[in-house]
Amino acid sequence: MLPDPVKSKYQDLLAIEHQSVELFENRHQQQNIFKPEEVLYKTLGFSIARATSSLVSAGKGVFVTKGLVPKGAVVSMYPGTIYQKYEPIFFQSIGNPFIFRCLDGVLIDGNDKGISKVVYRSCSGRDRLGPLKMSDSTWLTSEIHNPLAVGQYVNNCSNDRAANVCYQELDVPAVFPVELKQYLPNITYSHDKQR
């Protein structure tokens, strides 16, 4: 699914990480050799961060902190609990600016606080497959493993500035490798419906 240049860089980083894991095999605690932002920069040529927006009354935003983003690149992912049109989301939606409605009516709750956070963690814990996680819940913490999981903080354009990013909806294919799902910052509300 990844473009060939990205795939080769990803494989190189995995090989380096595999070698470092072997070096620290006898230690009780593994150390991360690369920070997620460094992996993003080495793989895609840019890194991003969440920070206070320059737009008036916009709160936090997402900024490129290093490198250049090529046109058409995926810059971030919108994390959160995925709800089908018919599923209950009333309490989670009260005063929640992070509810994103997809074209097909599916809703994504990207709030990293309150009841939204509790629901996400509950669904994420429910869907574990033995030692394998079926989603990334680190976007709810200060120790984010997937630095792209900040899409809910991407601000829309204003009257003064044109948009420099746009949303692109996609479904994760059923054949997506189960060992990579731990990096996806989304979980479905209903266990029986995977999207």
Asked if residue 79 lies in contact with residue 62, where contact means CB atoms within 8 angstroms, the answer is no
Q: What DSSP state is assigned to residue 117?
A: H
Quick one: tokens of 17? 């990480």
Q: What percent of the chain has pLDDT over 90?
A: 47
Give the whole-angstrom CA distance, residue 60 versus residue 48. Answer: 13
For residue 92, pLDDT beyond 60: yes
The pLDDT assigned to 120 comes to: 96
Report pLDDT digits (tens) over 119-130: 999 999 999 988
Burial grade of 115 (CB within 10 A; 0-12, 13-18, 19 or more): middle
The pLDDT assigned to 15 comes to: 61
The pLDDT assigned to 1 comes to: 55
The pTM (predicted TM-score) of the whole model is 0.77
Stretch among 1-5, 18-22, 102-106, 107-111 having the lowest mean pLDDT: 18-22
Stretch among 5-14, 33-42, 147-156 having the lowest mean pLDDT: 5-14
The pLDDT assigned to 157 comes to: 67
Quick one: tokens of 46? 């840019």
In sequence order, the β-bridge partners of residue 82 are 108, 188
Whole-number average pLDDT of the chain: 83
Q: What DSSP state is assigned to residue 192?
A: T
